[in-house]
Amino acid sequence: MKSLADILKEIRPEFDFTASSDFITDGMLDSFDVVTLVATLDKTYGISIDGMDIVPGNFKNLQTIETLLSKYKSPK
């Protein structure tokens, strides 16, 4: 399975996502990229990210995205 860093790299290959702590402020992801990212994460991990969770704070950096994913991947 692809890693989160790989998925981000596919969406925006020109950026090094491991070097940023705020993808939005650094201009590495815009609103449309976030929509693409959510669709890719849903498909890759077999989850369905809720609309309430699609806020910039959850897509700020690798750690916040991992935290968001753990919410959906953990057994209920």
Binding to other proteins by residue 25, rule CB under 8 A?
yes
- The DSSP secondary-structure symbol of 7 reads H
Among 14, 70, 74, 75, binds other proteins (CB under 8 A): 14
User: CA 62, 64, 28 angle in degrees (round to 5)?
Assistant: 50
Binding to other proteins by residue 12, rule CB under 8 A?
yes
Site string for other proteins, 40-59 (x = CB under 8 A): ----------xxx-x-----
Nearest residue (CB) to other proteins, 30 versus 66: 30
Burial class of residue 56 (count of CB atoms within 10 Å of its CB; 0-12, 13-18, 19+): middle
